[in-house]
Chains A and B, each alone.
Chain A
Amino acid sequence: MMKSKADEEEYWNSSKFKAFTFDDEDDEFSRLKESKQAVNNIRRLVEEDDDEDDVEKVSWSGEPVGSISWSVRETAASNQKTDREPAFPKINTDTPTISKSNSGYSLSSLFKGEAGKSRGSFQTFNDSLSDSSVRLYAPELRKPKSEYKDYVSDWSPEETVQRMQQGKVVSLEKFRSLQDKLLLLDIAVSAHDGNVITAVLIYLKRTLSKEVLFRELESRQIALRHFIHYLTETRDQRLLLELLRALCRTEDMALLQYKEHLSIADENKRRDFLKSCLSLPFSAEDSAHVQDHYTVLERQIIIEATDRQAERGGKVEIFQKFPRRASILNMPLITTLYYCSFYHYTEPEGTYSSPLNIRQTFKISEKQYFVTALAARAKLKAWSDVDALFTSRNWLGFTRKKSPLSFQRVVDILQKNSAPTQVLQDYVALVDDADVRISLAQKHKCHDIIINTYRDLKDRQMLLGYRGKVERGSVEERKIDELLNNPQIRWKN
């Protein structure tokens, strides 16, 4: 948002903060003494915690009381009011502040070309705002008798909002015309107190038709967000959906409905519910995700039923050797792929539980598939499967090891699945970068690789250094000695 510079400056110039002055009528000195004493009292009471008798009877929650030492007086103190000039200036809080709406522009007028709807009432509000802080404490005294209507319902909108902020009793029943209701709402919004905004919204919800309320909220974003939050918290899903529909926020609507699946425990019901979500107005992208969600759950239900039976039957070896720790239902897709790579690796591509089939159906990237299958097969210590994953044949029939994942990562995954050194070193050797290779080899104690790398680098010094690290009289030491004594190697150092 860009405020025009002029506006900004104008505001700051006009908002000179007022100096601390005492009211003329006041006996300045006694005032000062009074407040000083009040402060000192608090200090003393807090520090000494003496239980002297209360002088004042104060109300905490409305009823008069006379017990428990200073904390009551603390509240009493905060309820007292002295008419002082504000010590700090007001600042522009950038939300629609009614007192500044003289131009009469409103968002709706900007977009819809209507004139500001409640312009007239804004003006009256402006007039009354100026002395509202004084009136707050004795409003009934300042009003001419002729204006005296009902005692409770006689507060002006801004007084009402102020009283609500202070937790005092108010009645909203007198705000009956749409104009009055909206004015009340706008004033609540300009007071930045979410509690009061919501309170007014609850009243509007009760006394306005949905159509009118929704229409008016559309141009009042802050109030709207409070209303949406209120409906979310009270779990009024139906009304919330209607609101979103009225606002044409179709994607939010779709997501909100989709969210309901989380509270459906039964997997079949959940699946059916997800199926019904497929027609919701998601974005194209999200729509595909929801479709996947449905398809995965559908599969999981089938796999779970079959596997549970197989496990109970006790005839399938893998379930005996590695009993399933949890059901596969509602797990993410990749977990499902891992599960299938673990229990159903060799199945033909036609079955639901075949990892290859899952890869195809959900368009899982090569890298992702590879990582998952690798982890699953390594977990089972099926090293030949691991080996096969990497092996590709070129057109001449030579095999070579290829990986969509850096071999460094591969080593990492294998190591985390406690692969033996013999297996690890095959893959460490495939790491391209010599430095990385050496540090990995050192970490996993693959002596051969280190020795060979130094040999290839013709780095006699490093090799000599490494000799000190291997065990005395070991195969490694002998190998290093052989290399060092090999006259055919032209060492670089």
Chain B
Amino acid sequence: MAHSARRRDCPELPDFSLLKRLARDQLIYLLEQLPGKKDLFIEADLMSPLDRIANVSTLKQHEVDKLYKVEHKPVVSTSDQLCFLIRPRIQTVKWICDVANADKAAGKFRRYKIIFTPQKFYACEAVLEEQGIFGDVTTDEWAFNLLPLDDDIISLELPEFFRDNFLAGDQRWVRTAGSALHLLHSLYGPFSKIYGIGRCSKMAYESWREQVEEGEQRTHQAEIGKVFLIDRDVDFVTPLCSQVVYEGLVDDIFRIKCGCVEFGPEVTSSDKSMKVMLNSQDKVFNEIRNEHFSNVFGFLSQKARNLQTAYDKRRGMDIKQMKTFVSEELKGLKQEHRLLSLHIGASESIMKKKTKQDFQELLKTEHSLLEGFEIRECISFIEEHINRQVSMIESLRLLCLLSITENGLLPKDFRSLKAQYLQSYGVDHLLTFANLRQLGLLVEQQPGETLTVMESKVGKLVNDKTAGKLTDAFSSLAKKSNFRALSRKLNLVPKSDEEYDLRVPRDMAYIFSGAYVPLSCKLIEQVLDRDGWTGLEEVTRLLNGHEFAVSGSTGGDSKTKSDAQRIILVMFLGGCTFSEISALRFLGRERGYKFIVVTTAITNSSRLLEALLDNHA
């Protein structure tokens, strides 16, 4: 492909399959804690992650009889031992209490075991206590908090991290993030340098550091040298943009779940749907995943031609040659053929969907917003979008993008767009709007700068502690995005009059058709280049601070030259998109780094906004 391996000295990635083994063995151990036959109830959103590390036969080997999905309905199981594998959620625990209490009332005796993953919460145990079940149920923790989705992607599979932390302000997952980092540190560290930005990143760092101090120290050859922690709320613009690199597009349209996508009949050109793993093992996918969509067709057709030639070789072969061909090449070719036709099908389907919804025009609006150009036209485009009741999420996405890039909407526009939105999609969305305002995603412009002035005045009078409280008190009011200023400072929007050849990307902007360099990735680039935040003072001020850069005492000079120092772990707290991963892969190729992305979950604009909807009971 056009931009494969720019630098050949990229270091090798560590082997993360270890993490899977670890999680599986821990689970087996926990299952053995409840000897004998048992039925296992699994929380719905744990099924896919579980599938990645174990299979049914693993569970059966450890005397799991029947498997059920947690559905908050009365259980039909006849087993006298019930095991529940759940997230630490109060409503799920309440349901288990109901099950146990119903059994009690019916005079049925069973043994119950709850395995919380990745950890249990006191609030859940409090429910057990309140419902009179504490003691009747044994509880355990399964510290399954790192799932490798690919060679360079590790997910905590905690989509709720985003809402809990950023909207509700609940820090319950901070320690989880710290523990995840701790595990990586003890297996692949010691880290020599940690950079970060964001309140949650700071807290996760602290939690990690405490855990390192609590635990034992090990000295072995580091496989990961540097770490970058970043809060999702540092950059909301990037995940709200339409994705146009292949993997991101596939995620936007078909939704990749835990590294796996389900292609419907329209893609498979049969009457069946097909589940496909999307990772570097898929050779075809691996070559197109980071490509701008406009290149994908060309690539696929070239590939198809090559395949044809390879098949054609068998013409004129003698028997012996044919035999070698069949035994050595045919299987590979068939496999490639299958993958190729899948991705061609997927691309076609993407094209069809995108032309139907005027994708071009949508992209044009997004780019204008990023550029701060023809905002009036953008507003009327969004308005029409709403009027025509085109996708509720899409309209919301555009509204948020407008608000963040413009530092809030003019009061007149805000009122009118909100009113029209509620008319088109339901007044229930009043609650959604309240959430978006709280998060600073969709706000009215504040008259003047009064707030900032007052804040800084008060800030000077008090010490850190109270200032921290103040920030909280103001946070819902004064989360300014400052996107325009940031964009100028960091050169995020390349000049539009220059031609951008998407086949030969010159910077990370290629992931958005050359229109925008993702802020999150740009920060990472800058900090790595400067080995810290020096020279970025204005930028961090615009991002509301919370940046840090710390070195470990073990970071000697001899080590800084080793390969491990060019392996960089980037942890996104609150989710990251496939586009961002593509951008980092590009940056890695340019600079001779290898990035490992650790994220609380893979996100995209729909997931991000759906997490903030409140129009359902």
A interface, CB within 8 angstroms of B? 1-4, 7, 11, 17-20, 32, 35-36, 38-40, 42, 46-47, 49, 60-61, 65, 67-72, 74-75, 77-78, 80-82, 84-98, 100-101, 103, 105-107, 110, 133, 136, 164-167, 192-199, 202, 219-222, 225-226, 228-230, 232-234, 252, 255, 258-259, 262-263, 285-286, 289-290, 292-293, 296, 330-335, 362, 364-365, 367-368, 371-372, 375, 405, 409, 412-413
Q: Which of B76-84, B260-268, B460-468, B578-586 contacts A (4 or more CB under 8 A)?
A: B460-468
CA of A101 to CA of B419 in the docked complex: distance in angstroms? Answer: 46
Docked-complex contact B422 and A229, CB < 8 angstroms: no
Docked-complex contact B456 and A221, CB < 8 angstroms: no
Docked-complex contact B426 and A332, CB < 8 angstroms: yes
Q: Which residues of B contact A91 (CB under 8 A)?
A: 202, 205-206, 548, 550
Docked-complex contact A199 and B550, CB < 8 angstroms: no
CB contacts under 8 Å to A, within B190-212, are 190, 194, 199, 202-203, 205-207, 209, 212
Docked-complex contact A93 and B206, CB < 8 angstroms: yes
Docked-complex contact A233 and B123, CB < 8 angstroms: yes
Q: Which of B28-36, B288-296, B305-313, B318-326 contacts A (4 or more CB under 8 A)?
A: B28-36
- Residue of B90, B207, B617 touching A233 (CB-CB under 8 A): B90
CA of A146 to CA of B523 in the docked complex: distance in angstroms? Answer: 56
Docked-complex contact A42 and B187, CB < 8 angstroms: yes
CA of A286 to CA of B428 in the docked complex: distance in angstroms? Answer: 11
CA of A166 to CA of B213 in the docked complex: distance in angstroms? Answer: 13
Q: Which residues of A contact B418 (CB under 8 A)?
A: 285
- Residue of A3, A82, A197 touching B217 (CB-CB under 8 A): A82
CA of A46 to CA of B24 in the docked complex: distance in angstroms? Answer: 11
CA of A483 to CA of B291 in the docked complex: distance in angstroms? Answer: 48
Docked-complex contact B169 and A225, CB < 8 angstroms: yes
CB contacts under 8 Å to A, within B459-511, are 459-474
A to B CB contacts below 8 Å, 23 in the list: A1-B455, A3-B464, A35-B216, A35-B218, A36-B219, A67-B29, A71-B22, A71-B26, A71-B29, A78-B216, A90-B206, A94-B202, A96-B469, A105-B463, A110-B466, A192-B206, A192-B207, A194-B172, A219-B469, A222-B169, A234-B90, A333-B422, A333-B424
Task: Using known A-B contacts A103-B463, A225-B169, determine if residue A18 contacts B214 with beta carbons closer than 8 Å.
Answer: no
Docked-complex contact B219 and A35, CB < 8 angstroms: yes
Query: B292 → chain A, closest Cβ, in Å?
Result: 24
Query: A294 → chain B, closest Cβ, in Å?
Result: 9
With A35-B219, A69-B25, A367-B383 known, 19 other A-B pairs at CB within 8 A are A1-B474, A3-B467, A19-B553, A49-B21, A68-B32, A71-B22, A78-B216, A82-B217, A94-B464, A94-B545, A106-B466, A107-B473, A193-B207, A195-B122, A221-B169, A226-B169, A252-B434, A285-B415, A290-B427
The residue on B at minimum CB distance from A296 is B427
The residue on B at minimum CB distance from A101 is B465
Q: Which residues of A contact B388 (CB under 8 A)?
A: 371, 375, 413
Docked-complex contact B614 and A259, CB < 8 angstroms: yes
Which 4 pairs across A and B sit closest by C-beta, in order of nearness?
A194-B172, A225-B169, A199-B122, A194-B171
Contact residues of A: prevailing secondary structure: helix
Q: Which residues of A contact B546 (CB under 8 A)?
A: 94
Q: Which residues of A contact B468 (CB under 8 A)?
A: 1, 94-97
The residue on A at minimum CB distance from B548 is A91
- Residue of A38, A71, A193 touching B216 (CB-CB under 8 A): A38
Docked-complex contact B123 and A198, CB < 8 angstroms: yes
CA of A172 to CA of B546 in the docked complex: distance in angstroms? Answer: 33
Q: Which residues of A contact B424 (CB under 8 A)?
A: 332-334
Docked-complex contact A107 and B470, CB < 8 angstroms: yes
Q: Which residues of A contact B387 (CB under 8 A)?
A: 334, 365, 367-368, 371-372
CA of A94 to CA of B199 in the docked complex: distance in angstroms? Answer: 8
Residue-wise interface mask of B (445-467) relative to A, using a CB-CB cutoff of 8 A (1 in contact, 0 not) = 00000000001101111111111
CA of A17 to CA of B218 in the docked complex: distance in angstroms? Answer: 19
Docked-complex contact A67 and B32, CB < 8 angstroms: yes
B121 contacts partner chain A, Cβ-Cβ < 8 Å: yes
Residue-wise interface mask of B (419-437) relative to A, using a CB-CB cutoff of 8 A (1 in contact, 0 not) = 1101111111011001000
CA of A274 to CA of B548 in the docked complex: distance in angstroms? Answer: 49
- Residue of A20, A68, A82 touching B28 (CB-CB under 8 A): A68
Interface centre among B389, B419, B468 (most CB of A within 10 A): B468
Contact residues of B: prevailing secondary structure: helix
Docked-complex contact B216 and A81, CB < 8 angstroms: yes
CA of A331 to CA of B212 in the docked complex: distance in angstroms? Answer: 54
Docked-complex contact A86 and B209, CB < 8 angstroms: yes
The residue on A at minimum CB distance from B457 is A2
Q: Which residues of B contact A75 (CB under 8 A)?
A: 26
CA of A181 to CA of B266 in the docked complex: distance in angstroms? Answer: 61
Docked-complex contact A96 and B465, CB < 8 angstroms: yes
Docked-complex contact A86 and B213, CB < 8 angstroms: yes
Docked-complex contact A93 and B465, CB < 8 angstroms: no
- Residue of A20, A88, A289 touching B550 (CB-CB under 8 A): A88
Docked-complex contact B217 and A35, CB < 8 angstroms: yes
Task: Using known A-B contacts A68-B29, A193-B174, A259-B614, determine if residue A96 contacts B466 with beta carbons closer than 8 Å.
Answer: yes
B343 contacts partner chain A, Cβ-Cβ < 8 Å: no
Docked-complex contact A193 and B171, CB < 8 angstroms: yes
Q: Which residues of B contact A371 (CB under 8 A)?
A: 384, 387-388
Q: Which residues of B contact A133 (CB under 8 A)?
A: 213-214
Docked-complex contact B29 and A225, CB < 8 angstroms: no
Q: Which residues of A contact B209 (CB under 8 A)?
A: 86, 88-90
CA of A4 to CA of B464 in the docked complex: distance in angstroms? Answer: 9
Docked-complex contact A68 and B202, CB < 8 angstroms: no
CA of A26 to CA of B50 in the docked complex: distance in angstroms? Answer: 43
Docked-complex contact A88 and B212, CB < 8 angstroms: yes
CA of A225 to CA of B476 in the docked complex: distance in angstroms? Answer: 12
B170 contacts partner chain A, Cβ-Cβ < 8 Å: yes
Q: Which residues of B contact A412 (CB under 8 A)?
A: 358
Q: Which residues of A contact B463 (CB under 8 A)?
A: 7, 100-101, 103, 105
The residue on B at minimum CB distance from A233 is B90
- Residue of B205, B545, B552 touching A3 (CB-CB under 8 A): B545
Q: Which residues of B contact A194 (CB under 8 A)?
A: 164, 170-175
- Residue of B32, B171, B358 touching A192 (CB-CB under 8 A): B171
The residue on A at minimum CB distance from B207 is A192
- Residue of A86, A285, A332 touching B425 (CB-CB under 8 A): A332
Q: Which residues of A contact B175 (CB under 8 A)?
A: 165, 192-195
CA of A90 to CA of B203 in the docked complex: distance in angstroms? Answer: 10
Query: B616 → chain A, closest Cβ, in Å?
Result: 6
Q: Which residues of A contact B214 (CB under 8 A)?
A: 81, 133, 136, 166
